[in-house]
Structure 1
Amino acid sequence: MMEQDPLSQLRDIHLPQPGGFWPPAPGWWILLAIALTLVVLAFVLLRQKRSKNRWLGTAKKELQRLEQNAVADNHWFAALNQLLKQSARQRYPERIPESLSGEPWVRFLLETSPKDRVASRPVVEAMVNSAWRPVPGCRPEEAVAFARVWLGGQKC
């Protein structure tokens, strides 16, 4: 005779061990892929913007150099106009600003100036004309001030 109770041979119910943190669920992999894509995209866009605006930093350094060597002669004003034309070619290539001179160049500078267009007209005219006149009609400080304002408004 077997007097064994079959229920006594059963073990208690054991819950399975909780899963570890690795490997993550598929949703976490998708989230990681999206986050990495966004980081790479932000890096590429920032790098493009910096390389696109590199000319502006160079132009501001050149303007500072011109300001330190400011002399009221036509060669200095020609160098300042050359700097502004190079900067305009970078910012407005479709308008071909390097081919402008005289009154069209003055109008272009005033149209693209960020502020004080009417008040700046005499300074800009004198600055442009001083590049070819033997006796400049503009003070270098005024010309540098306008160039700094003009370059300061040039953002891509």
Structure 2
Amino acid sequence: MTDSTLVLRDIHQGIAPPWWPPAPGWWIAGALVLALGAAYAAWRNHERGKQRRVANLFDSAMEAANDLPEQVAAMSELLRRAGRRGNPLADKLQGEAWLAWLDAGDARQSFGLGAGRLLLDGGFRRDVDAGDVAALRALARARFIAWMVK
């Protein structure tokens, strides 16, 4: 029953599909990645802008102060305003309790043991050391920005 005239040939692979244009699923995946990247970039830009505005608010308050004791008083006022965001009663704290509130979450205790102690009476002194005010300014600026950007 076999036919000896039957010619058999090897099986040949078909032509591979071209890489371009990609399948619709790849277009959707690419668009999703681009949309997520654009949304992340817009969010980061917004956060940087907010941080820049808060820093400008702090810096303009420091520039408006005429002398070093006024700068210390302005820093204290700004920190109290920012502290109300975390605790509505934070601006009512006095003395060591206020410094402890400022040091919350800071293992270095920069306000209670460091330059931040100037907040207790620096705004009421006639003479304040410029180096101490500069150290306090850097510390207060960082804390103010961190609290306001939350």
Equivalent position SS for 2:86: helix
CA 1:149–1:126: 2 relative to 1, 3 Å: closer
The count of corresponding residues between Structure 1 and Structure 2 is 130
1:106 aligns with 2:99: yes
Cα deviations by residue, 1:35-82 (Å, 9 ceiling, x for unpaired) = 22212321342144235434542245236626xx66244x44322211
Please identify the structure whose Cα radius of gyration is greater: 1
- Give the equivalent residue in structure 1 for 2:122: 130
Give the Cα–Cα distance (whole angstroms) in 1 for the partners of residues 102 and 109 of structure 2: 11
Unaligned 5+ runs, structure 1: 1-15
- The root-mean-square deviation of aligned C-alpha atoms, in Å, is 3.6
Deviations 1:74-109 (A, max 9, x none): x443222113223444xxx13233333333322222
Structure 2 distance, partners of 1:138, 1:101, is 20
Q: Are 2:138 and 1:143 equivalent residues in the alignment?
A: no
**Quick check: which one's helix share is greater?**
1
Q: 1:95 aligns with which of 72, 87, 91?
A: 87
Q: Give the corresponding residue for 1:11.
A: none
User: Which structure 2 segments of 5+ residues have no match?
Assistant: 1-14
Structure 1 pair 139–19 and aligned structure 2 pair: CA distance change class (3 A): closer
Corresponding residue number in structure 2 for 1:8: none
CA contact (8 A) 1:102 1:129 kept: no
1:7-156 → structure 2 map (5 Å cutoff): 21-22=20-21, 24-62=22-60, 65=63, 71-73=67-69, 75-89=70-84, 93-96=85-88, 97-111=90-104, 113=106, 115-117=108-110, 119-120=113-114, 123-131=115-123, 133=124, 135-136=125-126, 138-152=128-142, 155=146, 156=150
Tell me which amino acid in the other structure corresponds to 2:119: M
Q: What is the TM-score normalised by the length of structure 2? A: 0.58
Structure 2 CA distance for aligned equivalents of residues 26 and 71 of structure 1: 66
TM-score for the superposition, normalised by structure 1: 0.57
Residues 95, 120 of structure 2: 8 Å contact kept: yes
Percent same amino acid among aligned pairs?
A: 19
SS at match of 1:94: coil
Query: What CA distance in whole angstroms lies between the structure 1 residues aligned with 2:60 and 2:94?
Result: 21
Change (3 A) 1:115 1:55: farther
Q: How far is the alpha carbon of 1:136 from its aligned partner?
A: 4.3
| 2:67 partner letter | V
